[in-house]
Amino acid sequence: MKYNFIYFIIKLLNFSLLFHTSLDENFDTIEKRNIINSTSLRVSLLCFPVGSKIIYLLTFNKKSNRILDKSNFQFFTSIHYDTLCPRISGTKIEEYVMAYSQYIKSILPKRRKEQEDFLKQRLSENNDSLSNLQSKITHYTTITIALTGAVVYLQTILPSANTNFAIRFISYYLFFILLVDIINLFLFLRKGMMVSSFSQSSFKSLKFDNSNYALTKAIYRDWIARKDDVRYFAGIVRNAEKYLYRSILVGITLYMFSISLQYYSDNPVNEIIFTPSGMFLAVN
């Protein structure tokens, strides 16, 4: 029970920009309890995400067993999506292809044909997955455009200047978080739409390759590249979904808070005043 409560607090602070908790390995997001530990958790006074880059100010990340060791503290640090989740390079793909070439040289033609059929199936599955991810990006873009209208409406029901400071602070802080989430949602969707270069085999490479396993090697190359494309796009979509769900949740919370505040402002609780004769009056 205690651990569940601690996880809930850590997860809640992951939504906040002030007193923010995060995991660098998962690009800031806290999703699973079993990956949270004292060395992986980052605690920051201020977090400011800007699309694929997240900036932390006055942050603590345990690197030394001594809590107050200066190596645990940083005034400024940042993480970048393309650093944590880089796309595979052409050189690395060729290394995999060369290693695979050595393998298929040593197997019988029948076994090689089975490998080729298997790779064709996996390549087709990855192409379908990539197409689905790109469709999600288009779908989420439409939803995000609709959300901007809701943001404009929420701005109109924020508390006025004569409202209690604490209430105004909570309302405007939630609204600021909502704006940041919407902006980052747009930036990640834009990042997904801007990716246009995909590594794949060319007809020229087949034409000048005289080996009897050239086609199998080309399909393997395309499978490796497409598998990495799916992984990269899946990360972009997952981060876009994170900001989408957060913006919806924060927006609903802000709406309920603002509507409740308006209701109690329009319908103040009656005050009971006793008269000397024992009668009482109810006044607003």
Q: Quick one: 68 and 208 in the same domain?
A: no
Query: How many independent structural domains does the chain possess?
Result: 2
pLDDT digits (tens, 9 = 90+) for 218-233: 889 999 999 999 999 9
Q: What percent of the chain clears pLDDT 90, i.e. is strictly above it?
A: 46
Of the residues 15, 50, 84, the one at which a domain ends:
84
Quote the pLDDT of residue 67.
Answer: 77
Given a cut of 60, whether residue 98 has pLDDT beyond it is yes
Runs of H (alpha helix) within the chain:
2-15, 81-84, 90-105, 109-156, 165-194, 203-207, 214-266
Q: Quick one: 94 and 80 in the same domain?
A: no
Q: What does the H/E/C string look like for 177-204? A: HHHHHHHHHHHHHHHHHHCCCCCCCCHH
274 assigned to some structural domain:
no
pLDDT digits (tens, 9 = 90+) for 258-279: 888 876 766 655 544 555 555 5
60 sits in the region (left: phi over 0; alpha: psi -120 to 50; else beta) called beta
Q: Quick one: 148 and 26 in the same domain?
A: no
Residue 264, both tokens: 């109690």
144 assigned to some structural domain:
yes
Higher per-residue confidence, 267 vs 58: 58
**What residue type is 276 in one-letter code?**
P
Its domain, for residue 254, covers 90-266
273 assigned to some structural domain:
no
Q: Quick one: 126 and 205 in the same domain?
A: yes
Read off the pLDDT band of 40 (50, 70, 90).
confident
Of the residues 20, 50, 84, the one at which a domain ends:
84
Q: At what angle do helices 214-266 and 109-156 cross, to 10 degrees?
A: 20
Query: CA of 145: how far to CAs of 61, 244, 277, in Å?
Result: 37, 11, 63
| Mean pLDDT across 189-216 | 72
Q: Rounded to whole angstroms, how far apart are CA atoms 222 and 199?
A: 7
240 assigned to some structural domain:
yes
Quote the pLDDT of residue 280.
Answer: 47
Strands 73-80 and 271-274: unpaired
Q: Quick one: 48 and 185 in the same domain?
A: no
Least confident segment among 6-20, 25-39, 241-255: 25-39
Of the residues 84, 112, 134, the one at which a domain ends:
84
Q: What DSSP element (H or E) covers 77?
A: strand 73-80
209 assigned to some structural domain:
yes
| Mean pLDDT across 71-77 | 90
pLDDT digits (tens, 9 = 90+) for 121-138: 999 999 999 999 999 999
Q: Quick one: 69 and 95 in the same domain?
A: no
Q: Quick one: 59 and 121 in the same domain?
A: no
Quote the pLDDT of residue 80.
Answer: 95
